[in-house]
Amino acid sequence: MSDVAPQTNTIHDAIIVGGGPAGASCAIWLKRLGFAPLLIETAGALGGLARVNPFQDDWTPLVQGETGHEIAGRIARGVVDAGVAMRLQSAVSAVERRGRTFEVTVRDAQGVTQILHAHTVVIASGVTARGLDGAGPTPVPGILVGPGSDVADRDYRGLRVAILGGGDNAFENYTFVRERDPAVVHLYARHVRAQQQWIDRTRPEDVRIGAYDVDINARRVNGLPYDLLLVFYGWVPQVPYAEGLGLVRDARGFVRTARETAETSVEGIYAIGEVAHRMHPCVVTSLADGVVAAKAIQARLEPRP
């Protein structure tokens, strides 16, 4: 049973949940604009999904050629240099409105729960990779879910590998695995959504398009045995702590927001980055989203003449 710390009387201008590019950008801008944000991150370091991305970024100006790990380091240094208050290894379990402010329930790594207060709350907790139906929350040996270090650091030599999914991540990782001397690598896609540049890099004989069956325990796809199954089924928003707010969401659970302000259907609650399912989710759009929310919060909190 966790301890409960006394409530604090401090009212933060904004509590930002999530320390990836979007949350960090929002926190830095608010701090530079003269406000007092608090950044809360579940992990022990900032950077979001960039922390587990070992690949080079050849798309983003100013950091071109740097790995996701290096970009995450830049994000963390930026937050520290701006003097943003933050809590790492702290999980938000609930957000509730109390009059004109919000109560945010936070539990730290020692199990101590505390209620914090804020004029606004920014949801920037991102997404998690969608797994196989029926696999449950516990990792299954031989099944890797989503991109990241687990996939990049694996030795594929001589292994039979099945890639599951029809998007960019599936096709890109097919190419990554194929270049590492597997015995076999097959890609299974019910529907193909990947960019043509990734499709062009596949060998047609390795791609199976259409319905397929997966035997999780036997690691078989359509009856064929594999040593590894790599699952790239897209993303699921991470907002369990906001269930009580009644936020309007789309059919897949992503939070709907106003394009001009990033404000949700609940006044004073903003959602930015991948949790709001931007058209082209990446570091650049997440950083921009953070700026949009920060400027909207500035307009909300600053007294008008």
51 phi-psi bin (left φ>0, alpha ψ -120 to 50, beta other): alpha
| DSSP H helices in the chain | 21-32, 68-82, 149-152, 168-178, 196-199, 283-301
Residues 105 and 253 in one domain: yes
Confidence of residue 56 (pLDDT cuts 50, 70, 90): confident
Residues 222 and 150 in one domain: yes
Residue whose pair of structure tokens reads 């302000």 in the numeric block: 261
Q: Which residues contact 205 (CB under 8 A, 6 or more apart)?
A: none
Residues 123 and 136 in one domain: no
Q: Report pLDDT digits (tens) over 20-36.
A: 999 999 999 999 999 99
The boundaries of the domain holding residue 150 are 131-231
Average pLDDT, the chain: 93
Residues 51 and 155 in one domain: no
Is position 32 within any domain?
A: yes
pLDDT(3) > 80: no
Q: Which of 231, 259, 277 is the last residue of a domain?
A: 231
Is position 289 within any domain?
A: yes
Is position 1 within any domain?
A: no
Confidence of residue 113 (pLDDT cuts 50, 70, 90): very high
Host H or E run for residue 131:
none
Is position 119 within any domain?
A: yes
pLDDT(186) > 90: yes
Give the number of domains in the chain.
2
Q: Which of 231, 247, 277 is the last residue of a domain?
A: 231
| DSSP H helices in 117-276 | 149-152, 168-178, 196-199
How far is residue 300's CA from residue 298's CA, in Å, rounded to a whole number? Answer: 5
Confidence of residue 148 (pLDDT cuts 50, 70, 90): confident
Residues 225 and 249 in one domain: no
**pLDDT for position 9:** 76
If we measure between CA atoms, which residue out of 214, 222, 267, 240 comes closest to residue 99?
A: 267
Residues 81 and 161 in one domain: no
Cα separations in angstroms, 153 against 116, 198, 201: 39, 21, 21
How far is residue 282's CA from residue 265's CA, in Å, rounded to a whole number? Answer: 24
Is position 3 within any domain?
A: no
Q: Which of 231, 251, 269 is the last residue of a domain?
A: 231
Residues 160 and 275 in one domain: no
pTM equals 0.91
